[in-house]
Amino acid sequence: MTEIIKLMPEALANQIAAGEVIQRPASVVKELVENSVDAGADKITVNIKDAGRTLIQVIDNGCGMSERDALKSFERHATSKIYKTDDLFCIYTKGFRGEALASISSVAEVELKTAQEGDQTGTQVIFSGGEFISQSPVSTPKGTNFAVKSLFFNVPARRKFLKADSTEFQHIITEFQRVALTHPMIEFCLYHNSQTVYSLPKASLKQRIIAVCGKNLNQDLIPVDIDTSIVKITGFTGKPQAAKKRNDKQYFFVNNRYMKNPYFNKAVLLAYDKLISPDTAPPYFLYFEIDPRTIDVNVHPTKTEINFENAGDIFKLIQAGIRETLSKNDVAPAIDFDNALAASMPYFSKSDEIPEMPRENFNPYYNPFESTRQSYAADYSPREKNNLENWQKLYQSQDTFFSADKPTVEGEKKIIQVKEKYIVSPIKSGLMIIDQYRAHYRILYNKYLLQIDNNADSIQKLLYPEKLLLDTLSSSMLYDLRDEVLSIGFDLDFTDMTSPVLKGIPPYIDKNEAEEVLNDIIDNYKEEHGSIQTSIKDILAKSLARRQAIKAGRQLNAQEMNGLIDDLFATGEPNYSPDGKTAVVILPVEEIEKKFL
**CB of 17: closest distance to ligand ADP in angstroms?**
11
Which residues lie closer than 8 Å to 514 by C-beta, 6 or more apart? 490, 502, 505, 506
For residue 79, the partner it binds in ligand ADP, Mg ion, none, with Cβ less than 5 to 8 A by kind, is: ligand ADP
Residue with Cβ nearer ligand ADP (57 or 475): 57
Residue with Cβ nearer Mg ion (179 or 517): 179
Residue with Cβ nearer ligand ADP (75 or 324): 75
Instruction: By CB under 5 A, tell whether 563 contacts Mg ion.
Output: no
User: For Mg ion, how many residues bind (rule: CB under 5 A)?
Assistant: 3
The DSSP secondary-structure symbol of 89 reads T
Query: Do 101 and 73 contact (CB within 8 A), yes or no?
Result: yes
For residue 184, the partner it binds in ligand ADP, Mg ion, none, with Cβ less than 5 to 8 A by kind, is: none
Instruction: By CB under 5 A, tell whether 95 contacts Mg ion.
Output: yes
Residue with Cβ nearer ligand ADP (98 or 572): 98
What is the CA 2 to chain-centroid distance, rounded?
56
Q: Rounded CA gap, 74 and 255, in Å?
A: 27
Residue type for position 341: L
Using CB under 5 A, which of the segments 94-102, 251-259, 481-489, 491-499 binds Mg ion? 94-102
Residue of minimal Cβ distance to ligand ADP: 95
CB-hemisphere CA count at 13 Å for 503? Answer: 9
Give the C-alpha distances (Å, rounded to integers) separating 84 from 95, 412, 451: 15, 86, 69
**CB of 301: closest distance to Mg ion in angstroms?**
12
Q: How many other CB atoms sit within 10 Å of the CB of residue 308?
A: 21
Residue with Cβ nearer ligand ADP (60 or 435): 60
For residue 81, the partner it binds in ligand ADP, Mg ion, none, with Cβ less than 5 to 8 A by kind, is: ligand ADP
**CB of 199: closest distance to ligand ADP in angstroms?**
20
Q: Rounded CA gap, 505 and 1, in Å?
A: 79
Residue of the chain from 14, 27, 35, 372 that contacts Mg ion (CB under 5 A) = 35
**CB of 51: closest distance to ligand ADP in angstroms?**
22
Residue of the chain from 41, 65, 100, 439 that contacts Mg ion (CB under 5 A) = 100
Query: Do 66 and 118 contact (CB within 8 A), yes or no?
Result: no
For residue 53, give the nearest of 144, 146, 188, 172 by alpha carbon: 172
**CB of 36: closest distance to Mg ion in angstroms?**
10
Residue of minimal Cβ distance to Mg ion: 95
Residue with Cβ nearer ligand ADP (116 or 436): 116
Beta bridge partners of residue 557, listed in sequence order: none
**CB of 23: closest distance to ligand ADP in angstroms?**
16
Percentages (nearest 5) of helix, strand, coil residues in the chain: 40, 20, 40
For residue 377, the partner it binds in Mg ion, ligand ADP, none, with Cβ less than 5 to 8 A by kind, is: none
Which residues lie closer than 8 Å to 151 by C-beta, 6 or more apart? 25, 28, 52, 53, 56, 107, 108, 159
Beta bridge partners of residue 467, listed in sequence order: 501
**CB of 95: closest distance to Mg ion in angstroms?**
3
Interacting residues toward ligand ADP by CB under 6 A: 31, 35-36, 39, 60, 62-65, 73, 78-81, 95-101, 144
Instruction: By CB under 5 A, tell whether 27 contacts Mg ion.
Output: no
Which residues lie closer than 8 Å to 339 by C-beta, 6 or more apart? none
**CB of 74: closest distance to ligand ADP in angstroms?**
8
Residue with Cβ nearer ligand ADP (126 or 345): 126
Long-range contact set of residues 161-165: C-beta below 8 Å, sequence gap at least 24: 162/24, 162/25, 162/53, 163/529, 163/530, 163/531, 164/530, 164/531, 165/50, 165/51, 165/53
**CB of 119: closest distance to Mg ion in angstroms?**
22
Residue-by-residue DSSP string for 318-370: HHHHHHHHHHHTTSS----TTSGGGGG-SSS-GGGSSPPPPGGG--TT--TTH
Contact residues for Mg ion (CB under 5 A)?
Answer: 35, 95, 100
